[in-house]
Structure 1
Amino acid sequence: MTEPLSELPFRELPFRELVSRVRACTLCADSLPCGPRPVIQLSESARLLVVGQAPGRRVHETGLPFNDPSGDRLRQWLDVSREEFYDEHKFAILPMGFCYPGTGKSGDLPPRPECAPAWRQALLERLPNLALTLVIGQYAHAWHLPSAARSVTENVRHWRHYWPNLVPMPHPSPRNNLWLRRNPWFEEEVIPTLQSRIRTLLRS
């Protein structure tokens, strides 16, 4: 089993070795129905960070983050191509849990709780060029907005409090279609502003 990062001299590790250790992690192996397969994307030069929940089954099978209907909608929201989105020098993608946690009665299970404490802060510290972080869904909100103490809807509604460096977002899953219908202001107000900011960052 992989040692927790807190027990390793991780600050002395070269970036590529740190990433290799993350991708080889088996910390939660006994709790993962399909076994460990950490799915992340990052480079020290990335300007944008996408923080999701945890890989779904299709992402687990392909090893490509957001390679599913949720990813299709997310790329549409961001107005970026698959080529741009999967360029690690532009986009870092670090979900709250790196491995597929399995499925429960109402959808995928929450991210495994062992993952973020073990690896997250060390990886974030290696992304010095980030200009915008997209924080998607309740578990990402809880980590990146710990003082907000609001629901996902309220966090998203107060997006200007975090602009221009961070944007709280709902999950782009088709399961959230009802939320989007009830909150049309998100796609009418937030998305155009977000697209403009992303295009500026990608050009720079």
Structure 2
Amino acid sequence: MSHVNRALIPKSLLSTGFALLLLPAGALAQTAAKASQPASSATSEKGERWLHVRVICTQGKRETVRVNMPLELAEKVLPAVNHDRLHNGKVRIDSSDVNDVDLRAVMDAIRTAKEGEYVTVQGDDNDVRVAKEGNHLIIHVVDKNGPKKSHVEVKMPMKVVEALLSAGKDELDLVAALHVLEAQGDTELVSVKDSENTVKVWLDSNSVAE
């Protein structure tokens, strides 16, 4: 694999992961605050899946934002949110975001490929690892630029990736991905730590976050 492709593919896959897990977080927090308030204090029903997002800002006012939402509620709320590139439960992806890489073709190739470590990049600026393990897409990125290293971990079930890419061209279907997530076990989906923020996105059966 050429140096150019090794650089582009991890960035493209990482964009996919963040589109699913981070782009709607702020919109969901604002739109569903009232709807989720009664549920946040209630005991989670057996088998109910909850999506948790926690953002800790270590700069300025040092705020902590927590979003705890049943996946069923998130599925209903997302189509009603129209914010930036998020419309009707789908996120539009510009070609510039993924350096003109065909995400659908890349992910289809990974879906049908054997498990293994696909990309490993160790450089002065970044360390990147992309692998398929236990039918999960694993992305690990260490950004060495800046005063402190930033770490990004994405672990996404391949079925969720397939649902995400089930929309039309240049779109990611978040509602379809959330629907598939309901059948998944407890798992940490995204972890980000840099000099300004610490972000964690995970799925479990608890109505209250840790």
In the superposition, the TM-score normalised over structure 1's length comes to 0.28
Q: Name the structure with the higher helix share.
A: 1
> Greater share of strand residues, 1 or 2?
2
Which structure is higher in RCO with an 8 Å CA cutoff and minimum separation 6?
A: 2
